[in-house]
Amino acid sequence: MKILHIIETLGLGGAERALVDLVPYLQKKGLDINVATLFDNNDLEKELLRQNINVYNLNLSYKWNIYEGITKLNTLIKENKYDIIHAHLFFAYFYTGLTKSFFPNIKRIVTFHNLPFNENNYDSLIKKIRKKIDCFILNKSFDSYIAVSNAVKEHYEEHCALRNINTIYNPLKIKDIMSYKGDKKLKESLGLANEDFIILTVGRFVEQKGYKEILRIANFFEKKYKNIKFIFVGEGPLKEFLKKTMSKNIYILETMEHKEVIKLYDIADVFLLPTYEEAFGLVVAEAMIKKVPVISTNVGGLRELVIDKKTGFLVEVKNIEKIKKLIEKIYRKEIDTKYITENAFNHIQQFDIEKIVDEILQVYKRII
């Protein structure tokens, strides 16, 4: 069975990380896997090349160059004779859908990694047209659908009237994540003292992730507890704003290899993600594997990972006061975090990559 996975880029995002983790395991199961990207920005490509996965960079000149997109993708499909095309993210499934009339016998699958119709106001005419095109292509051009959480499944059922969507969570390489270890030397290398209490946030530097709220929380604790420190890991448009406005107890780290990010969980006392919306929450899942207490917002797929007061703590969006109280209780050891983190670790086992790969294989077999 020959399969093409197509995605917008292989940049440093959650969907991209999930794909890069997944496809080598599919190849080990005997499938012939290729990966194609539409646009430049392929930081994770080298991880696939090291594992002998063919990666084709189509390098479209701009996102809406439909003629170029269809031409390049059709050429790739014709040369490789795929059985299945598996698309990830909007432009990947947009262009994959447009190839249906040229190659009607190839089966097409899409994995939904986000909640796109919650992110924008769809009152404008242009956005309403965009949504209609989106849903039309999904209904007419694909043979199967996968959502990375029940929240994402319900989102597409509501907005595009899709049915028979399979919920298959993002795969987690639990054994690998547990094997990457951080220690006191890592703390020292970051200029932190051994007694510092670390609150870690990993995610793109955009307002939606709740960084402006964390700035206010950090400013509060800087005045009250000198050894509570915040670490931000990511890239994005808010980076310069964060650098200019952050208090002295915040450390911003540059983009690093995934395994180096994983090591940071070992020096963290709390993982904080006050995001406004989240389809799954890969970084939250990683924190749970590393047995770090999680505080996150009560949104999207996070509800399926974080069970309040059992596998972590849920707060409403922008509820800064509750976040401050939870952090302070954990800092003062007024909460039994071992009970929470053990429950979280047990809960997260259902997302192990071996199980997820088998679920995806079953979808492939059903449509061939």
Q: Mean pLDDT, to the nearest integer, of 147-160?
A: 96
Range of the domain at 143: 2-171+352-367
Whether 183 and 149 map to the same domain: the answer is no
> CA–CA separation, 46 vs 48, rounded Å?
5
Q: What is the rounded CA–CA span in Å between residue 182 and residue 261?
A: 9
What pLDDT was estimated at residue 123? 66
**Are residues 33 and 160 both part of a single domain?**
yes
* C-alpha closest to that of 17 among 206, 249, 176, 251: 176
Burial 122-140 (b: 16+ CB within 10 A, else e): beeeeeeeebeebbebbee
Do 161 and 12 lie in a common domain?
A: yes
Rounded-to-integer distance, Cα 168 and Cα 175, Å: 20
Q: pLDDT tens, 36-78?
A: 999 998 889 999 999 999 999 999 999 999 999 999 999 999 9
Q: Please, what is the average pLDDT of the chain?
A: 95
Q: Do 152 and 133 share a structural domain?
A: yes
Helix (H) / strand (E) containing 255: none
Mean pLDDT of 12-38: 95
pLDDT digits (tens, 9 = 90+) for 261-300: 999 999 999 999 999 999 999 999 999 999 999 999 999 9
Residue 68 CA to residue 189 CA, distance in Å, equals 47
The pLDDT tens digits for 313-338 are 999 999 999 999 999 999 999 999 99
Write down the pLDDT at residue 262: 96
DSSP 281: -
Indicate if the pLDDT at residue 345 is higher than 70. yes
**Do 68 and 94 belong to one domain?**
yes
Q: What is the CATH number of the domain that holds 121?
A: 3.40.50.2000
**Three-class SS of residue 63?**
coil
Do 312 and 252 lie in a common domain?
yes
pTM for the whole structure: 0.91
Place of tokens 């389809």: 279
Strand partners, 32: 2
